């Protein structure tokens, strides 16, 4: 079994920004591309950020037992980790980075135990989170409201993670994340 790093946070807390930074640092990390049945956002491409499935495709993959975990993160909208992703990444000798919701994060930590580092990215406040989602400019206002409404509930999961990084000053959050990941991978 290889190593895995799990990132969870309310939407807009800065997970993608931090993960993309780490992926560019040549630490031997590879992103686990999840499957989802939400529509692509902005420049997203099938097979890069996500595998975009229809709801029917997603449900047949559930029935086939293809997922390591999956959640209905928003009503009618599934997200899940394919078993084949983890195998693909480990076979290349890399550690896996997951970007999953808080419930998925806690479940994956239980599955991988000491081979996993689970990181919760915490926004400074829900108001700042909302401003960042508006600033990102990729979601309609009703989708932003749905994400903000869930944020308080999601923040309650922070104590179940190995470590929490508050994403206030981005530079500091990036170096803290890199430090923790290198430590976990035994690279320093």
Chain residues that interact with ligand 5GP, rule: CB under 6 A: 11, 34, 38, 69, 71, 73, 79-81, 99-101, 104
Q: Which of 4, 8, 12, 108 binds ligand ADP (CB under 6 A)?
A: 12
- Span of 22-30, 44-52, 77-85, 166-174 interacting with ligand ADP by CB under 6 A: 166-174
Cβ-closest residue to ligand 5GP? 104
Contact 152, 126 (CB under 8 A): yes
Q: What contacts 94, CB < 8 A, 6 or more positions away?
A: 2, 28, 29, 30
In 3-state terms, what secondary structure has residue 37?
coil
- Give the per-residue contact string, 124-163, with ligand ADP (x = CB under 6 A; - = no): --------x--xx---------------------------
Q: Give the shortest CB-12-to-ligand ADP separation in angstroms.
A: 5
Residue 122 binds: one of ligand 5GP, ligand ADP, none (C-beta under 5 to 8 A by kind): none
Angstrom distances, CA of residue 42 to CA of 9, 80, 152, 169, 170: 21, 21, 26, 25, 22
Sign of CA dihedral 171, 173, 179, 185: negative
């Amino acid at each position: 079994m290889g190593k895995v790093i799990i990132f969870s946070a309310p939407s807009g807390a800065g997970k993608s920004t931090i993960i993309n930074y780490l992926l560019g640092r040549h630490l031997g990390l590879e992103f686990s591309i999840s499957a989802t049945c939400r529509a692509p956002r902005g420049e997203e491409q099938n097979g890069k950020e996500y595998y975009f499935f229809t709801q029917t495709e997603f449900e047949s993959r559930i029935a086939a037992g293809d997922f390591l975990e999956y959640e209905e993160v928003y009503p009618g909208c599934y997200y899940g980790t394919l078993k084949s992703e983890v195998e693909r990444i480990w076979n290349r000798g890399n550690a896996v980075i997951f970007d999953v919701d808080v419930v998925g994060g806690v479940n994956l930590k239980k599955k991988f135990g000491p081979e996993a580092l689970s990181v919760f990215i915490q926004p400074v406040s829900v108001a700042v989170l909302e401003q960042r989602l508006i600033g990102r400019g990729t979601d309609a206002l009703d989708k932003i409201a749905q994400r903000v409404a869930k944020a308080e509930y999601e923040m309650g999961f922070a104590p179940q993670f190995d470590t929490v990084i508050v994403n206030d000053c981005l530079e500091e959050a990036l170096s803290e994340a890199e430090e923790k990941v290198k430590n976990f991978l035994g690279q320093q």
